């Protein structure tokens, strides 16, 4: 059993199903990111772990203790769950100084004054806030307020850190800085962390595991690299990645004794044995996996399919430029290096390596054929 | 829509409908402190609000002892529809119901509009601009509310009365020789002016409180985007303070349609009746059932009003303007409008507070009432020892132990009632806001507002009826100080509850939740987080109730006994006995005490409210 364990947890607000039977197990020391578009139920999930929201159904275990069970009507209130939470708004108390804000958790625990003072000072020093302890929250910058919110959580030594988009109110530079800070925090304290964000870069750089959510359900729960390499369904494939994923519709057919993805303009042999032929499929490929073949150069060696496309727009950007091309009425993004010069209106050849394509069933959106491990 | 996204939508629909069956049988929040608190509040409200109102409602269907005068069929104790028919379907309907009802609504609308204009403008000047003397103006702007409204009406009469009601003419005629026309002296016009001058501080307090808590960065960000100031005001500031504006308007409207003293003094000379004066006149003529039906009409009227306004406010409720992030204020520069603004503020305060006060004082040092010359000066009504001929043996006010006791009673009553109301109001605000959307929260909010719909005189009569005998575990309370406290506290609960709700709305829920996740139990976080953050609102609630109770007359007039007599009831006594000078002198004392009281409250609040 994990340190945090959600079993079939569900929550509806009136007619809106915010979280729909989510199961999730988080081991000690993991840094798990809940990633998903706005309104997908990330915050609600986090708040249910904290106890701030009472689920309608399911069970929640924290550190081996059952803190919620719908069946047995167990609801442990937040103050007895030993979790720490950082809110998106920081929720610093405006009537308390930085020191008092941070000391709150220890005062609740009725620690002796001297202990409180030294522990708060230690944490404030760790968060580089030692000169600000007498200030009030409105006298601090956004980044400093964020640090105070973190310090306030850390000092109480919770079993789990819960963070709800903690960096969303910061500017880009501060965000990068605080990301490093959070990384350091997690390394130093090896605290189990559940981190809500809709910024995939944050999730990919910070988390050891990412849970992608949509409409209250978990779409995929995997390591960042797996998530990127093998999105479990079309939604994840489209949601994750710095460029939008390239898509094209086709079907599975047998050609020359091989199972192939077939589209009027391109045929790509697939790896592995043919399954149900005739199946309606969606091919997805990451822009950086599409090989742009200029002019008459023969396609690269290896299995794959070739197709011709018209260039619609070019975005030169130094070492790695991108272009939009038209493929069967869909706009694809392709990435190409310095050596290649193309212009709008050019016809270019695209090579889709069999090893890099992802095939999804069009009816369910699920991945049907995982590509084999890299070349 | 692409086939794929359509597909996904369908998948989602399927999941939703299959999941819905699971929601049933989920655990409830029973047993949480918040729920227990809600339950306790509901019981308290039931005992002190619902039951008394229910009692009078039932009484209207029963023949009363006095009804034998009205009808030969009367059998005291038996059920009847007679009273309802008399009010709604009889030749008397126009006189008893229609005319007073229309007059009340007109007075309510006029008063609310004028109060909103005055209070809103002054609040904006004081809180958000660089108008000179802002602090002084802020302190003085609430003074009119401390002066009993009926005395403001009396001041109006002293100024503008003509010889229609006999006696000497007013100061205006004394100085100009021109008799003011009836419509200036009596009826609708002066009633609206006097009520608005009396009630605008209420709107002022609510709006300035809201304005002070609006994050100005919202406005600044709009200005940075190049929006003209009028647009910022309309699109950013107004929506955020709208809850306060609406609460202020509703409270003023319902207060005005329920006001008794002012329409009584200003309306009777021209037989201008509103519902409350019609109620009073029926109580005076010992037709309690007719009066009770009119009370119910007033309640229904205000209920409709609230229902509509809640539909409007409900949507906007969810503005959370105090977040955990700190913010600063930057005043709006008025430029050349600085002094016109000061002039407007100054004249409102002058006419509503300073002039009446001077008139009261002046009249308290006149040997013969109505003669405005220096030779007519006397200090006897303030300082004379007992046995002076001019004062018919009564000692001067400052030497009179009865006056001192009444003053002490006024302070004691106002402070205790305000404390009870402010604490209850804050707790109500807390459970209403925290439990937003639940039935119990709605019930508490509605019921706590109910006393507002009952005119003071009727509220006093209801409490007298209900608590004159022992009721369940509650002993008979007539003649006790406690009954006065309960009456004033529950009558004024809507002030405190509204103030509690609007304060709690401003305190974002996450501030409390942050404390909760740090291990703080309910009492701890209420004491250390919720309470300190809402103390400002609580002080507003306290001062509102304190000021109201200090100047309360019609609410307690039926309940006081010689031991529990207050300054206002003494004024009434002297006025009835024709000692205009004594009555005015006591009013002066009353106003001075209120001002000192409020000033002290602000001082205290300023310290504990900190940062
Ligand atoms: N207190 C509430 N009352 C009603 N509906 C709610 C409440 N809280 C959340 N919801 C609804 O539940 C759904 C999930 O909300 P949630 O806050 O968990 O989304 P989220 O993934 O955190 O989104 P975001 O990235 O915008 O913060 C949304 O449709 C939201 O409107
Ligand atoms: Mg969220």
Choice between B551 and A184, residue whose per-residue pLDDT is larger: A184
The reply to whether B72 falls in a domain is: no
Q: How far apart are CA B206 and CA A297, in angstroms?
A: 77
- Dihedral sign of CA atoms B365, B370, B371, B373 in order: positive
Residues 278-337 of chain A with CB under 8 A from chain B are 282
Choice between A369 and A298, residue whose per-residue pLDDT is larger: A298
Residues B355 and B407 in one domain: no
Q: How far apart are CA A196 and CA A184, in angstroms?
A: 18
The reply to whether B338 falls in a domain is: yes
On whether the CB atoms of residues A319 and A281 are closer than 8 A, the answer is no
Q: Is B386 exposed, middle or buried (0-12, 13-18, 19+ CB in 10 A)?
A: exposed
For residue A14, how far is its CA from the centre of ligand 1 (angstroms)? 12
pLDDT of residue B3: 41
Q: How far apart are CA B380 and CA B100, in angstroms?
A: 43
Count the domains in chain B.
2
B174 pLDDT more than 50: yes
Residue with CA closest to ligand 1 atom 12 = A18
Residues B457 and B574 in one domain: yes
B284-292 mean pLDDT: 82
The reply to whether B474 falls in a domain is: yes
Question: Is the CB of B29 inside 8 Å of chain A's CB atoms?
Answer: yes
Q: Per the CB < 8 Å rule, is A90 touching B325?
A: yes
Band of the pLDDT at B13, cuts 50, 70, 90? very low
pLDDT of residue B5: 42
Ligand 1 proximity of A299 Cβ (cutoff 6 Å): no
Q: How far apart are CA B144 and CA B124, in angstroms?
A: 18
pLDDT of residue B215: 61
B401 pLDDT more than 50: yes
pLDDT of residue B60: 87
On whether the CB atoms of residues A366 and A233 are closer than 8 A, the answer is yes
Residues B332 and B440 in one domain: no
On whether the CB atoms of residues B558 and B461 are closer than 8 A, the answer is yes
On whether the CB atoms of residues A101 and A138 are closer than 8 A, the answer is no
Residues B357 and B485 in one domain: no
Band of the pLDDT at B167, cuts 50, 70, 90? low
Residues near B480 by Cβ (< 8 Å), separated by ≥ 6?
Answer: B564
pLDDT of residue B415: 93
- Pull the structure tokens for residue B554: 């019609």
Q: How far apart are CA A290 and CA B153, in angstroms?
A: 87
- Pull the structure tokens for residue A23: 């199961």
Average pLDDT, chain B: 80
Q: Minimum mean pLDDT among A19-28, A347-356, B118-127, B543-552: which range? A: B543-552
Closest chain B residue by Cα to residue A106: B518
For residue A44, how far is its CA from the centre of ligand 2 (angstroms)? 7
On whether the CB atoms of residues B401 and B389 are closer than 8 A, the answer is no
Question: What percentage of chain A reaches a pLDDT higher than 70?
Answer: 94
pLDDT of residue A268: 87
User: Is the model's pTM score more than 0.90?
Assistant: no
Closest chain A residue by Cα to residue B9: A215
Question: Is the CB of B439 inside 8 Å of chain A's CB atoms?
Answer: no
Ligand nearest to the CA of A40: 1
pLDDT of residue A272: 61
pLDDT of residue B466: 81
Closest chain A residue by Cα to residue B536: A95
Question: What percentage of chain B reaches a pLDDT higher than 90?
Answer: 16
pLDDT of residue A214: 94
B271-297 mean pLDDT: 86
pLDDT of residue A125: 92
pLDDT of residue A266: 84
Residue A332: strand pairing partners: A325
Closest chain B residue by Cα to residue A75: B27
The reply to whether B296 falls in a domain is: no
In chain B, the N- to C-terminal Cα span, in Å, equals 54
Interval A209-264: pLDDT, tens: 999 999 999 999 999 999 988 899 999 999 988 888 999 998 888 877 778 888 88
Nearest to A57 among B22, B508, B516 (CB): B22
DSSP string, B377-425: B--HHHHPPTT-TTTTTPPPGGG-HHHHHHHHHHHHHHHHHHHHHHHHH
B14 pLDDT more than 80: no
Ligand nearest to the CA of A53: 1
Nearest to A52 among B27, B513, B524 (CB): B513
**Strand, helix or coil for residue A320:** coil
Q: How far apart are CA B208 and CA B196, in angstroms?
A: 17
Interval A85-110: pLDDT, tens: 999 888 899 889 999 999 999 999 99
A114 pLDDT more than 70: yes
B282-302 mean pLDDT: 83
Nearest to B514 among A91, A234, A363 (CB): A91
Closest atom of ligand 1 relative to the A14 alpha carbon: 4
pLDDT of residue A307: 87
Last residue of some domain: B363, B378, B412? B363
Integer angstrom CA distances of residue B152 from A280, B156, B349: 84, 6, 13
A154 pLDDT more than 60: yes
Question: What percentage of chain B reaches a pLDDT higher than 70?
Answer: 83
Give chain B's radius of gyration (CA, Å).
Answer: 27
On whether the CB atoms of residues B381 and B585 are closer than 8 A, the answer is yes
pLDDT of residue B325: 39
Residues B249 and B338 in one domain: yes
The reply to whether B244 falls in a domain is: yes
Residues near B437 by Cβ (< 8 Å), separated by ≥ 6?
Answer: none
DSSP string, B111-165: HHHHHHHHHHHHHHHHHHB--TTHHHHHHHTTHHHHS-HHHHHHHHHHHH--GGG
Residues B269 and B412 in one domain: no
The reply to whether B51 falls in a domain is: no
Q: Per the CB < 8 Å rule, is B518 touching A79?
A: yes
**How many Å lie between the alpha carbon of B105 and the closest alpha carbon of chain A?**
39
Q: Which residue has the tokens 């047998």?
A: A254
Last residue of some domain: B308, B338, B363? B363
Residues B543-558 as b/e (b if ≥16 CB within 10 A, e otherwise) read bbbbbbbbbbbbbbbb
Best probe residue, ligand 1, of A11, A16, A86, A214 (max atoms within 8 Å of C-beta): A16
Residues B487-520 as b/e (b if ≥16 CB within 10 A, e otherwise) read bbbbbbbbbbbbbbbbbbbbbbbbbbbbbbbbbb
Residues near B410 by Cβ (< 8 Å), separated by ≥ 6?
Answer: B549, B550, B566, B567, B568, B590, B593
B101 pLDDT more than 80: yes
pLDDT of residue B211: 79
Average pLDDT, chain A: 88
Q: Per the CB < 8 Å rule, is A20 touching B16?
A: yes
On whether the CB atoms of residues B206 and B505 are closer than 8 A, the answer is no
Choice between A208 and B157, residue whose per-residue pLDDT is larger: A208
Residues B359 and B477 in one domain: no
- Dihedral sign of CA atoms B97, B101, B102, B107 in order: positive
Q: How far apart are CA B481 and CA B485, in angstroms?
A: 6
DSSP letter (8 states) at residue B319: -
Interval B432-461: pLDDT, tens: 988 877 888 888 988 888 887 777 777 887
Question: Is the CB of A244 inside 8 Å of chain B's CB atoms?
Answer: no
Ligand 1 proximity of A214 Cβ (cutoff 6 Å): no
Choice between B538 and A92, residue whose per-residue pLDDT is larger: A92
Q: How far apart are CA B316 and CA A344, in angstroms?
A: 51
Last residue of some domain: B344, B363, B382? B363
Q: How far apart are CA A346 and CA A90, in angstroms?
A: 52
Choice between B34 and B252, residue whose per-residue pLDDT is larger: B252
Q: Minimum mean pLDDT among A53-57, A122-126, B358-362, B519-523: which range? A: B358-362
Q: How far apart are CA A37 and CA B85, in angstroms?
A: 64
H or E stretch including A18? strand A16-26
Residues B546 and B435 in one domain: yes
B318 pLDDT more than 50: no
On whether the CB atoms of residues B348 and B118 are closer than 8 A, the answer is yes
For residue B483, how far is its CA from the centre of ligand 1 (angstroms)? 48
Order of all β-strands in the sheet with A266-269 = A266-269, A258-263, A246-255, A280-285, A358-361, A367-369
H or E stretch including A192? strand A192-197
Order of all β-strands in the sheet with A65-69 = A16-26, A4-13, A57-62, A65-69, A74-75
Q: Per the CB < 8 Å rule, is A363 touching B515?
A: no
Q: How far apart are CA B122 and CA B208, in angstroms?
A: 9
Q: Which residue has the tokens 């104790």?
A: B77
On whether the CB atoms of residues B140 and B133 are closer than 8 A, the answer is no
The reply to whether B139 falls in a domain is: yes
Q: How far apart are CA B417 and CA B430, in angstroms?
A: 20
Q: Per the CB < 8 Å rule, is B517 touching A77?
A: no
Residues B354 and B439 in one domain: no
ipTM: 0.83
Interval B123-159: pLDDT, tens: 988 888 888 888 888 888 887 877 777 778 878 887 8
Q: Per the CB < 8 Å rule, is A93 touching B529?
A: yes
B195-216 mean pLDDT: 82
B12 pLDDT more than 50: no
B357 pLDDT more than 90: no
**How many Å lie between the alpha carbon of A343 and the closest alpha carbon of chain B?**
30
**Domain CATH code at residue B105:** 1.10.3720.10
Ordered alpha helix ranges (H), B259-373 = 261-267, 275-284, 288-316, 338-349, 355-364
B73-80 mean pLDDT: 83
Choice between B170 and A336, residue whose per-residue pLDDT is larger: A336
Residue A209: strand pairing partners: A32
Interval B461-483: pLDDT, tens: 788 878 877 877 888 888 899 99
Structural domain including B506 reads: 399-611
Residues B418 and B358 in one domain: no
For residue B237, how far is its CA from the centre of ligand 2 (angstroms)? 26
On whether the CB atoms of residues A306 and A299 are closer than 8 A, the answer is yes
Q: How far apart are CA A359 and CA A369, in angstroms?
A: 6
Strands A83-86 and A74-75: unpaired
Residues B403 and B348 in one domain: no
Band of the pLDDT at A275, cuts 50, 70, 90? low
Tell me how far the alpha carbon of residue B582 is from its chain's centroid.
27
Residues B563 and B607 in one domain: yes
Residue with CA closest to ligand 1 atom 28 = A39
pLDDT of residue A164: 93
- Pull the structure tokens for residue B572: 């009434």
The reply to whether B376 falls in a domain is: no
Question: Is the CB of A78 inside 8 Å of chain B's CB atoms?
Answer: yes
CB atoms inside a 10 Å sphere around CB B164: 14
Residues near B185 by Cβ (< 8 Å), separated by ≥ 6?
Answer: B157, B160, B161, B162, B164, B170, B269
Q: What are phi and psi of B295, to 5 degrees?
A: -60, -45
A152 pLDDT more than 90: yes
Q: Which residue has the tokens 């981190």?
A: A195
């Amino acid at each position: 059993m994990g340190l945090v364990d959600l079993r079939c947890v569900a929550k509806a607000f009136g007619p809106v199903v915010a979280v729909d039977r989510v199961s999730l197990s988080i081991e000690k020391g993991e840094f798990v990111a809940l990633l998903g578009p706005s309104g997908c139920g990330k915050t609600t999930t986090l708040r249910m772990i904290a106890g701030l929201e009472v689920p309608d159904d399911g069970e929640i275990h924290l550190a081996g203790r059952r803190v919620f069970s719908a069946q047995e009507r167990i609801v442990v209130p937040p103050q007895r769950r030993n979790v720490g939470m950082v809110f998106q708004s920081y929720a610093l108390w405006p009537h308390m100084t930085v020191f008092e804000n941070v000391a709150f958790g220890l005062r609740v625990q009725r620690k002796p004054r001297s202990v409180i003072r030294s522990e708060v000072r230690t944490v404030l020093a760790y968060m580089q806030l030692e000169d600000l302890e007498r200030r009030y929250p409105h006298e601090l910058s956004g980044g400093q307020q964020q640090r105070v919110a973190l310090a306030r959580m850390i000092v109480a030594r919770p079993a789990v850190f819960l963070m709800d988009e903690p960096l969303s109110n910061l500017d880009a530079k501060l965000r990068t800085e605080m990301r490093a800070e959070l990384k350091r925090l997690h390394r130093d304290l090896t605290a189990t962390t559940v981190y809500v964000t809709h910024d995939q870069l944050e999730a990919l750089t910070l988390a050891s595991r990412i849970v992608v959510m949509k409409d209250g359900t978990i779409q995929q729960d995997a390591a960042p690299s797996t998530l990127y390499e093998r999105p479990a369904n079309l939604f994840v494939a489209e949601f994750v990645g710095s460029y939008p994923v390239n898509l094209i519709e086709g079907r599975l057919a047998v050609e020359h004794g091989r199972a192939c993805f077939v589209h009027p303009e391109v045929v790509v042999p697939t790896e592995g044995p043919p399954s149900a032929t005739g199946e309606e499929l969606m091919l997805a490929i990451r822009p950086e996996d599409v090989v742009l073949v200029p002019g008459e150069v023969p396609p690269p060696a290896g299995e794959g399919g070739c197709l011709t496309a018209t260039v619609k727009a070019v975005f030169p950007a130094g070492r790695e430029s991108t272009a939009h091309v038209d493929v069967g009425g869909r706009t694809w993004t392709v990435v190409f290096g310095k050596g290649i010069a193309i212009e709008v209106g050019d016809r270019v050849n695209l090579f889709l390596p069999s090893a890099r394509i992802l095939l999804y069933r069009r009816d369910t959106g699920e991945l049907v054929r995982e590509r084999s491990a890299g070349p | 829509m692409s086939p794929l996204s359509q597909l996904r939508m369908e998948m989602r629909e399927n999941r939703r409908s299959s999941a819905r069956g699971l929601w049933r049988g989920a655990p409830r929040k029973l047993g949480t402190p918040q729920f227990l608190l809600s339950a306790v509040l509901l019981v308290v409200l039931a005992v002190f609000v619902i039951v008394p109102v229910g009692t009078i409602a039932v009484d209207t269907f029963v023949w009363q002892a006095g009804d034998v005068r009205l009808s030969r069929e009367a059998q005291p104790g038996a059920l009847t529809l007679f009273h309802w028919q008399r009010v709604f379907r009889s030749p008397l309907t126009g006189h008893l119901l229609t005319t007073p009802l229309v007059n009340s609504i007109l007075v309510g609308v006029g008063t609310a509009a004028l109060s909103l204009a005055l209070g809103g403008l002054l609040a904006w000047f004081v809180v958000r601009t660089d108008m000179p003397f802002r602090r002084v103006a802020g302190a003085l702007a609430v003074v009119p509310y401390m002066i009993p409204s009926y005395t403001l009406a009396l001041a109006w009469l002293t100024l503008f009365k003509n010889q229609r009601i006999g006696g000497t003419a007013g100061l205006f005629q004394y100085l100009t020789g021109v008799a003011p026309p009836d419509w200036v002296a009596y009826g609708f016009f002066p009633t609206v002016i006097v009520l608005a001058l009396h009630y605008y501080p209420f709107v002022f307090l609510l709006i300035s409180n809201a304005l002070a808590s609006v994050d100005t960065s919202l406005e600044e960000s709009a200005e940075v985007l190049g929006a003209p100031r009028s647009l910022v005001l309309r699109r950013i500031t107004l929506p955020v303070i709208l809850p306060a504006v609406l609460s202020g308007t509703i409270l003023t409207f319902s207060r005005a349609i329920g006001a008794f003293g002012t329409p009584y003094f200003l309306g009777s000379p021209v037989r201008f009746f509103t519902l409350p004066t019609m109620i009073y006149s029926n109580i005076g003529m010992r037709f309690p059932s007719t009066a009770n039906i009119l009370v119910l009409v007033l309640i229904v009227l205000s209920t409709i009003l609230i229902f509509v306004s809640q539909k409007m406010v409900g949507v906007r409720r969810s503005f959370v303007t105090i977040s955990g992030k700190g913010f600063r204020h930057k005043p709006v520069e008025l430029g050349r409008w600085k002094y016109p603004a000061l002039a407007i503020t100054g004249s409102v305060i002058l006419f509503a507070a300073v002039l009446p006060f001077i008139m009261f004082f002046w009249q308290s040092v006149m040997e013969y009432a109505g003669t405005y010359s220096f030779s007519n000066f006397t200090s006897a009504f303030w300082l004379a020892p007992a046995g002076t001929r001019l004062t018919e043996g009564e000692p001067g006010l400052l030497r009179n132990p009865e006056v001192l006791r009444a003053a002490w009673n006024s302070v004691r009553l106002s402070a205790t009632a305000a404390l009870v109301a402010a604490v209850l109001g804050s707790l109500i605000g807390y459970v209403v806001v925290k439990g937003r959307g639940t039935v119990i929260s709605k019930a508490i909010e509605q019921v706590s507002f109910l006393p507002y719909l009952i005119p003071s005189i009727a509220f006093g009569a209801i409490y007298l009826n209900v608590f004159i005998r022992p009721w369940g575990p509650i002993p008979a309370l007539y003649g006790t100080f406690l009954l006065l406290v309960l009456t004033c506290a529950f009558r004024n609960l809507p002030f405190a509850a509204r103030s509690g709700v609007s304060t709690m709305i401003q305190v974002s829920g996450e501030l409390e939740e942050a404390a909760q996740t740090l291990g703080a139990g309910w009492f701890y976080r209420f004491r250390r987080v919720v309470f300190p953050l809402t103390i400002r609102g609580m002080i507003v609630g306290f001062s509102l109730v304190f000021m109201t109770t200090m100047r309360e007359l019609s609410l307690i007039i039926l309940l006081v006994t010689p031991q529990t007599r207050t300054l206002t009831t003494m004024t009434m006594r002297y006025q009835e006995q024709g000692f205009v000078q004594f009555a005015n002198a006591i009013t002066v004392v009353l106003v001075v005490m209120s001002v000192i009281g409020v000033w002290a409250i602000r001082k205290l609040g300023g310290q504990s409210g900190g940062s």
